[in-house]
Amino acid sequence: MVNTVDYIIAGGGISGLLLANEMANSSWFDNKQILIIDQFVKSTNDRTICYWSKDQLAPDYVSKSWKHFNFYNYEGEHKLLDTDPYEYCMIRSADFYNHVHYKIDQKSNITLITDKIIDLVEMDDGMVLKTEESNSYKCKHLFKSFITDELDFTKDHHVLQHFKGIFIETEESCFDPNHIHFMDFRTDQSPGTCFFYVLPTSDRHALVELAVFSDEVWEDINYDKTIEAYISAHLTQSKYSIQETEFGVIPMTTYNFSAHDTKRITNIGTSGGTVKPSSGYSYTRSLRHCKAICQALISGKEPQIAQRIFSKKYKWFDQVFLNVILSNKLSGAEVFDQLFAGTKAERILSFLNEDLSLLEDIAILKSPKKVPFIRAALEEIF
């Protein structure tokens, strides 16, 4: 027996639940049958999601936000960034999962099931999804948040952003809970672009996270040694305990993920290309993508047109940026240092959020050394 619904969201992680949340917010979907399927129901703090926003009313699932950003370059020089009106927001994944699960529980037309997808069959009149428990589901359109095809990055810029974070509790007061360390490059840069975030939730509690841009993921002990050295040198020499640990790997690439969209399948999240190639941030882009998908469906259009929100202009800027750091024209530490030294932080955050005009973009690109970026731009053109 084949169970028929209107839409299936394959994957109940961040991007799948963002889309489900947007559908639950619109009455247009109330008469549509929506199925979310994942092998596991996510409910724990398996990751921390961060983004910056001008919104005065943050979503209920934002656990903390900050208005004051500290930037440290690789030589140890400090700059307090003026980011107004932006705030840096932190979401604990458990809060997000629980928020969306509660909302969809109130919707009789949205169902979350636990099962493993083993096959996807595209047909002229819809998609058929088969599961490990011998269930079959058919839908008009499938939204897929995981990668099934083999990806060839050889013709594109590609680097991994891998990170390890620890939530610590210190014996002594050592954090200012109103200030974050936003990109702290005071660590060895020889393995690749390396920097820290420090997100304090009180004077004795903080997330300390190491992010690395490189081709290879490190052995776990190398993250631990680097984090320990950073804490001792720059945060506190008092004892501390580790409350939680998180780890992740994100592709930073100019690869065209939308090429894997079909008439019946729209990829979302990382597999939909929502990770910003030049920064690794994805929440804002993923949310915008989900909103655009819903608007397309409501307007009677194909959901694949939601990819249009990712402008060709910023795709090209991302290509140039990755060219510069991956070909060692400048290091990532040098690029971000020069950006924040020469431009208002609020403008840079708007630039990374893809919210500026062409003239404003060009003004920002004048901040770093021009020759490496001109060379990279010419290489991308020719």
pLDDT band at 367 (very low <50, low <70, confident <90, very high): confident
pLDDT tens per residue, range 198-211: 999 999 999 999 99
Quick one: average pLDDT of 128-148?
93
For 57-68, what is the mean pLDDT?
A: 89
Amino acid letter, 235? L
User: In this predicted structure, what is the pLDDT of residue 366?
Assistant: 82
Question: Distance (Å, rounded) from C-alpha 160 to C-alpha 280?
Answer: 9
**In terms of Cα–Cα distance, which of 127, 143, 138, 120 is closest to 36?**
143
Q: Strand pairing partners for 169?
A: 205, 241
Contacts of 71 (CB under 8 A, 6+ apart): 78, 79, 80, 81, 182, 183, 184, 340, 345
> How does the average pLDDT of the chain come out, rounded?
94
As a whole-number percent, the residues of the chain with pLDDT over 90 amount to 89
pLDDT at 149: 75
Cα–Cα distance for residue pair 21/291, rounded to 1 Å:
10
> What percentage of the chain has pLDDT greater than the value 70?
99
State the Cα–Cα distance between residues 201 and 178, nearest whole angstrom: 8
